[in-house]
Structure 1
Amino acid sequence: MTDLNRTTLSRSAILLTGKVAVVTGGGAGIGRGIAIAMAEFGADVAIIDIDGAAAAEIATLIRGKGQRAHVIVVDVTDRDAVRASIASTVETLGRLDILVNNVGGTRPIKLIDITDRQADRQIDLNLKSLVAATQAAARAMIDGGEGGSVINIASIESLRAAPSYSVYAACKAGMVSFTRTVALELAEHGIRVNAIAPDLVPTAHMATFAPGLVSDEGKAVQSRYIPLRRAGNLDDCAGAAVFLASAMADYITGVTISVDGGTWASSGWTRDDDGGWKLFG
């Protein structure tokens, strides 16, 4: 059989059996969903998080699925600690195949009001930690000799304007560019690098400081502005991450997948009360 006629894909290609994944910020939110999904599909998982109790809870769930879990309590703005966490994962779990750079975050603040300290914190959290973790993971994957997958959790704000989130959006845009460039640098080692750009994904943390997003009124507004008529959930992001980590995505590198229900595609088009579409309505 020649490559032109190759049809050997099987259902097992989505499985992560025998793989080891690291998820930064894996104790809560999107990272929590991804860490659990990686275990569900067969991977052992290292959880890097500043909240040890939350990470331990996820580790318990992962072990309940029959997979190994390794908890590392770290503030990812400490880049030396991030690098040490990758080394600890290889030492404890034996290898590294998947890195999910999920940790990040922000709060709304206008450019004219942001302080140097606040800006530096956002850059350290959302961009510098990404560089440190990816560098350390790439070295471990190269040493392992079996390739790997790096998955960066960006944001739809990396692709559009984000008033009151200028530094955060710049970091996420940098993450998308970093993804493309590093994908080329690491391709010769069989390491694929991709990104996921979620839009609205309500989490427990988000519900605390923006309860309107999960209210009935908020959901009604979402049905107008989100083509698929609902906000995202943790499984939406986790499904994309599992796919990118698996053999199903063996020929995909350097891309950013928008997990947004169609909001990037809509670009100002909204539904009216009759269900039709109008521009800037």
Structure 2
Amino acid sequence: MLPKGTFSGRVSVVTGGSSGIGEAIATELARLGSDVAIVGRKQDQLDAAATRLREHGTQITTHSVDVRDRESVEATVADLLARWGQIDHLVNSAAGNFQAKPEDLSPNAWSAVVRIVLDGTWNFTQVVGQHMIERGAGGSILSIGTTAAMIGGPSTVHSTSAKAGVIALTKSLGVAWAEHNIRVNVMTPGPTEGTGAMTFLFGGEGQWDEQVQAIPLKRMLTRQEAADASVYLLSDYASYITGHNLVIDGGRSLGRAGGVFGG
């Protein structure tokens, strides 16, 4: 746990910030002193999350945005800069996923998920990165990954492929933007308690137990553990880390023979 004030005077943008790991990261950033803009598609969820975040005393704004819509992303970033004059940290947590046999995926189903996960990450990363470069004060960018991008996801090939692209994007930008003191990293969680992904992907009888049995530590990650790792990578305490994929999955991705369906 980082000390209070770690992010004082900073401005952070969190896509997918109204629920799950995204909200947990946004909450921890606010607790540590950052003003936070949370981005999502459903205004009611954004408003509810903002009410919880404001308990920490920093400024919280909400933005209903489809990350696939480049013009909306550009307008949102412009509004944030008009308000605060700076963006120091970006978290790409917006995602979409569902289970399906690869042979049954329609072109629209493939495109919908890839555009949210990969295109959406690129849209916010490039637009915010352009600001960081122009401002000349550096910054840090973090995207949320999935272990399936490394070991395969038999029933989530659309999301798995997109997240693998996010890892490649991160490594590429870690090199390209190092000269601007912009650090770009990925935090890859294992199955995490209290997230929509676990409910939607593994909500069937016995599926949670099956996931836990594939984890050497025999428990799921907590949202707080995911947030703690994320804010570390965003913070100045990680000032020499860039282009890195930090996997926190309780050993799940190590030598898992055959895999668990869903990945």
- Return the TM-score normalized by structure 2: 0.91
- Alignment pair present for 1:64 and 2:55: yes
Rounded Cα–Cα distance in structure 1 between residues aligned with 2:146 and 2:190: 6
Aligned to 2:140: 149
Other-structure match for 1:130: 121
Choose which of 50, 63, 71 in structure 1 pairs with 2:41: 50
Q: What per-residue deviation string (whole Å, max 9, x for no partner) do you get for residues 58-104 of structure 1?
A: 22222221100111111112122112222222222331000001101
Deviation of the 1:39 alpha carbon: 0.4
Which residue in the other structure is 2:241 paired with? 252
How big is the alpha-carbon RMSD for the aligned residues of Structure 1 and Structure 2? 2.1
Q: 2:13 is aligned with what amino acid?
A: V
Answer yes or no: is 1:102 the counterpart of 2:84: no
**AA at the equivalent of 1:228:** L
Provide closer, same or farther for how the CA distance between residues 101 and 88 of structure 1 changes in structure 2, counting only shifts above 3 A.
same
Mark the structure with the bigger radius of gyration.
1
Structure 1: which 5+ residue stretches go unaligned? Answer: 1-10, 271-281
Partners of 2:97 and 2:197 within 8 A in 1: no
Q: Does the residue aligned with 1:167 lie in a helix, a strand or coil?
A: helix
**Correspondence for 2:228:** 239
Partner of 1:29: 20
Q: Deviations over 1:251-279 (max 9, x none)?
A: 00000011211111243399xxxxxxxxx
Name the CA distance, whole Å, in 1 between partners of 2:105 and 2:31.
41
Pair 1:93-2:84 in alignment:
yes
Counterpart AA for 2:108:
R
Aligned CA distance change for structure 1 residues 212 and 111 (closer, same or farther; 3 Å): closer
Q: Could you list the runs of 4 or more consecutive aligned residues of structure 1 that deviate by over 6 angstroms after TM superposition?
A: none
Tell me by how many angstroms 1:202 deviates.
Answer: 3.2
Residue 177 of structure 2 is matched in structure 1 by 186
- Quick check: 2:191–2:198 contact (8 Å CA) kept in 1? no
Closer, same or farther: CA 185–206 of 1 in aligned 2, 3 Å: closer
1:195 aligns with 2:180: no
- CA distance in 2: counterparts of 1:114 and 1:202, whole angstroms: 28
Q: Which runs of 5+ in 2 are unaligned?
A: none
For residues 186 and 14 of structure 1, the distance between their equivalents in structure 2, rounded to whole angstroms, comes to 26
Could you say if the C-alpha distance between residues 157 and 16 of structure 1 is closer, same or farther in structure 2, counting changes exceeding 3 Å? same
Partner of 1:75: 66
Q: Name the structure 2 match of 1:172.
A: 163
> How far off its partner does 1:200 sit?
0.6
Aligned residues: 258
Taking the aligned partners of 1:220 and 1:50, their CA distance within structure 2 comes to 31
> Corresponding residue for 2:29?
38
Return the alpha-carbon distance in structure 2 between the equivalents of residues 137 and 47 of structure 1.
Answer: 14
Cα offset for 1:208?
A: 4.6
Percent of aligned positions that are identical: 32
Q: Which moved more, 1:59-68 or 1:147-156?
A: 59-68
> 1:157 is aligned with what amino acid?
A
Partner residue in 2 for 1:115: 106
Tell me what 1:15 maps to.
6
**Relative to structure 2, which stretch is displaced further, 184-193 or 105-114?**
105-114
Residue 210 (structure 1) shift: 5.1
Partner SS for 2:254 = helix
Task: Determine if contact 2:183/2:243 at 8 Å carries over to the other structure.
Answer: yes
3-state SS of paired residue (1:200): coil
Which stretch has the larger CA shift, 250-259 or 13-22?
13-22
Q: Which amino acid aligns with 1:247?
A: D
How does the TM-score come out when normalised to structure 1? 0.85
User: 1-side partners of 2:126 and 2:203: how far apart?
Assistant: 39
